[in-house]
Structure 1
Amino acid sequence: MTTTFDRQSFRAALGTFTTGVTIVTTRAGDGSAVGITANSFNSVSLEPPLVLWSLAKNARSLAAFESAGQWNVHVLSAQQEALSGRFARQGEDKFAGIELDEGVGSAPLLRDCTARFQCRTASSYDGGDHVIFVGEVLAYDRSEHPPLVFQGGQYALAARKPRDEIRLGAAPSPDCCYTEDLLGYLLGRAHYQMLHRLRRLLDTDALDERTFFILSVLSIRDRLTLAQIDGFIAYTGMRASEAAIGALVARGLVAPELADGQVRYLLTAEGRAASLRHIALAKAVEAEMTDKLGAGDAMALKLLLKRLVASSDPGAPDLWAAN
C-alpha cells in the first residue's frame, strides 16, 4: 500500500477508474464561446436534478465559468474523439466551423453527443487545486450514440457485458479441456456464421469465396500481378491460381494487361460493378449484425479485432497502404 503521494503515481492510480469524456461550454462576459474537455463529470441528485464537474484553479477559463450562471455538459460519443482533443488544447478557436443547436440559455450547445445537460450554477466549492461546480439541470437529451471512454490515460470504447443471455466462463467437461470461451472457437464460429450468410447471397450471383476475395482486392488496388493478388488473399488459405484468374477473365470480369514485361490484372467495367455488388452484400450482412450488437459493441469489436490482426499478422502485405 502506497501512503506517500507522488503526483504521477497518484494520477496513474486515479486513471484506473474508467470515466466518460465531456466538453463543458459557457459564454464569457464579452459573449465569446468558452469550452473545455473534462472527465470529472458526475451525478449528484435526481431530485432536484443536480450534476457536478471540477476545473483546475490555474485554468484560463476558470473566470468565465465562475462568472457565468449557465453552462452545458456534453457527454461525447465514440465518434467525437477528435473533438475531445480539440477542446483539450489551448491557443486555437475551438468552435471554428462547428454548428451549434439552440439551448435554453446562451451557452454553446454541441451536436451529435451521447447526452447533453444544460445547467445553471447552483453552487461552487473549493476542492484543493480545483473548483467544484454543482449545477441544476434545466434540460437534457440523449441519443443512441455509443459513448467515448477514458481509461488509464487513453481513450477507449465501452462494450456492454452480457447478463444471462450468454454463458461466460463455462466449465469444460471432465474429459475435455476445450471450452466455448476458447478464442479460436469464438473467432471461428463467428467467422463461419457470418460467412454462411454472405455465401448464400453470393450464390445468387454464381460466385464463390475465392472470386469474392480476388475481385475485392482488385477493387481496392488495380493492375496487380497474379503473385501480388495471391499475397493479398493468402491469409484466407486460398490461392489466386492461374485457373481462378483465367475463369474471371473468361467471364469478362477481369482483363490482363502487359506492363513492364509482366502481366497485370485489372477489373473491367462489368467486374467493378460485380465487385460493388459483392461489397454491398457484405455491408448488408455487417449492418444486420451491427443492429443486433448495437453500434457501441460493434465499434469495440472492430477495434479489438484490429488489435488482434496486428498482433497475429505474419507479415502480410497491407492492401490499404499507399502504392
Structure 2
Amino acid sequence: MSEPRTDFDPRDFRRALGMFATGVTIVTARAQDGTPVGVTANSFNSVSISPPLVLWSLAKSARSLPVFSGATHWNVHILSEQQETLSNHFARAGEDKFGGLSLDDSLSTAPLLPDCSARFQCRTMFQYEGGDHVIFVGEVVDYDRSERAPLLYVTGGYALAARKAAAVSTEAAATPSSALFSEELLGYLLGRAHYQFVAGFRATLNERGLSDADFFVLSTLSVREPLSAEEIASHVAYTAIDVGAVLLRSLCDRGLLRLTDTPQPGYSLTGAGRDAILHVLAAAKSVEAGAGAQIGEMESTMLRNLLKRLISATDPGLPKLWTASQP
C-alpha cells in the first residue's frame, strides 16, 4: 500500500478541485443587530431528502462567520445565469451588498433575494469543524424554484449547463470516425439547424414576396437606419449575398425601402417595409419559441452563449450591428 502524499501544492490542488462543476449560490442571514449579510459560495450540497437537509461551508477567515455561526436561520439562493453580476457583487468584501436590492418576503429574518433558479429557506441544525472551514447543516423549511437556467462554476470561471444531445441520425454510430463528412461536422450542424429554422417561417416570407436577401436587408434596417449601401453590404457580408445597387433598387421600387438625404443620407424602411419585416420577425419568434419549448430554457440559454462564442471566435472583423455607429 502506497504512502499518502504530504506535498500537495495548494494552487494545483485547487485547480484539481475546480474540475468539479458546481452551482453558484448566495447564502444570506441577518445579524442580531438587524444587519443583513450575504456571501457567494459554491460549497452548497444536499444531505437528505427526508428530512430535507442541505449544507454549505464558510472559511474560518470570513468576516461574516460570527453572524452565520450565531444565526438560527439562513437562506441559500441558487443563482440563475443572469445573476453573474450579483455573484461577483456578493463575493467582494467591504461593500454594502444589499444597497438598492429588492427583497422578497421570507419566513425568517434572513434576506430572500428574487429571480433565482431556486431558493432554500433553512433553519440551522448543526455546525461542524471542517479544516479551514465551518460546515453548516440546515433543515429546509421552505423552498421554491423557477425555470431560469442556473449559473455554474468550473475550472475557475462561470459556465452554463446543457444536457448532452443524442445523435441526429440513427446511423451516426455506424459512421467511421475517420469519415471526412459526418454529423459531427460543426458546419453541417450549424447549416442544417439554420435551414430547418428558416423553413419554419418560410411561408411568411413567401406570403410577403421576400427572398432571403430581402429578409437580410430589411431585418438589418429594422435594427438601425438609415444605412448607406456600403454599410448594408458590410453588415450582410456573412451571408455571402452581394447586396448591390440592383437589390436595393428593387426594394425601393417595391415600396419597401426609401433613399433619404436627411438627417443623414442612406436607406430606411418605408411603412410597408417595416410592416413586412415585423410580420416575418414575429413568425421567426414563434418558431424560436416552439423550438425553445422543446429543448428547454436551460439549453436555449446555452445555445445562445455557445453561438456568441463561436461568432466571436470566427469573426473576420464584420461591423457590429447592435453597437452604436460612430459619429
Note the 1:63-82 alignment, pairs <5 A: 63-82=66-85
The structure 2 residue matched to 1:286, chosen from 282, 285, 288, is: 288
- Out of 43, 56, 64, the residue aligned to residue 40 of structure 1 is 43
Q: Distance in 1 between matches of 2:176 and 2:18?
A: 40
**What's 1:269 paired with?**
271
Q: Which residue of 2 aligns with 1:314?
A: 316
CA–CA distance in structure 1, aligned partners of residues 193 and 31 of structure 2:
53
CA RMSD of aligned residues (A): 2.4
1:235 to 215, 231, 238: 238
- The residue aligned with 2:118 is 115
Q: Distance in 2 between matches of 1:168 and 1:107?
A: 55
Please state if 1:147 is matched with 2:150: yes
Q: CA deviation at 1:92?
A: 2.4
Q: Return the offset for 1:169.
A: 6.3
**1:171–1:179 contact (8 Å) kept in structure 2:** no
How far off is 1:103 after superposition? 2.3
By how many angstroms is 1:259 displaced? 7.1
TM-score (norm 2): 0.91
1:95 deviation in Å? Answer: 1.8
Is the 8 Å Cα contact of residues 224 and 265 (structure 1) preserved in structure 2? Answer: yes
Deviations 1:105-148, CA, capped at 9 Å, x for gaps: 11111122111111111111111111111111112222222111
**Amino acid paired to 1:211:** D
1:170–1:181 CA contact under 8 A, matched in 2? no
Alignment deviations for residues 78-123 of structure 1 (CA, whole Å, 9 cap, x no partner): 1211211111122322222322222221111112211111111111
Residue ranges of structure 2 left out of the alignment (5+ in a row) = none
Q: Identify the match of residue 257 of structure 1 among 242, 257, 260.
A: 260
State the Cα distance separating 1:174 from its structure 2 match: 9.9
TM-score (norm 1): 0.92
User: Cα deviation per residue 1:257-282 (whole Å; 9 max; x = unaligned)?
Assistant: 3479x962122233233333332222
Alpha-carbon distance, 1:218 to partner: 1.4
Structure 1 position 63, deviation (Å): 0.7
2:136 is matched with: 133
State how far apart, in whole Å, the 1-side matches of 2:185 and 2:174 are: 11
Tell whether the 8 Å contact from 2:60 to 2:133 is kept in structure 1 after alignment.
yes
Correspondence for 2:9: 6
Q: Tell me what 2:211 maps to.
A: 208
- State the 1:155 CA deviation: 0.8
- Count residues in correspondence: 322
State how far apart, in whole Å, the 1-side matches of 2:59 and 2:257 are. 62
- What amino acid sits opposite 2:14 in the alignment? R
Change in 2 beyond 3 A, CA 1:30/1:306: same
Q: Which amino acid aligns with 2:136?
A: F
Corresponding letter in the other structure for 1:103: S
Q: Which amino acid aligns with 2:237?
A: A
The CA deviation string for residues 171-205 of structure 1, in whole angstroms up to 9 with x for no partner, is 31699542222212111111110011122221122
SS of corresponding position for 1:110: coil
Percent identity among equivalent residues? Answer: 53
User: Residue 303 of structure 1 aligns with which residue?
Assistant: 305
Tell me the distance in 1 between the aligned counterparts of 2:297 and 2:245. Answer: 41
Q: 1:51 to 1:98 in 2, by over 3 A?
A: same
Match of residue 171 from structure 1 = 174
> Contact 1:145 / 1:295 at 8 angstroms: preserved in 2?
yes
Q: 1:225 aligns with which of 213, 225, 228?
A: 228
Is the 8 Å Cα contact of residues 199 and 209 (structure 1) preserved in structure 2?
no
- Counterparts of 1:70 and 1:227 in 2: how far apart (Å)? 62
Deviation track 1:29-67 (CA, whole Å, cap 9, x = no partner) reads 101211111000011122222111000111111111011
Stretch deviating more after TM superposition (15-24 or 302-311)? 302-311
**Hey, what does 1:92 align to over in structure 2?**
95
| Separation in structure 2 between the aligned mates of residue 173 and residue 55 of structure 1, nearest angstrom | 50
| Letter matched to residue 266 of structure 2 | R
Which secondary structure state, in structure 2, belongs to the residue aligned with residue 98 of structure 1? coil
Paired residue for 1:60?
A: 63
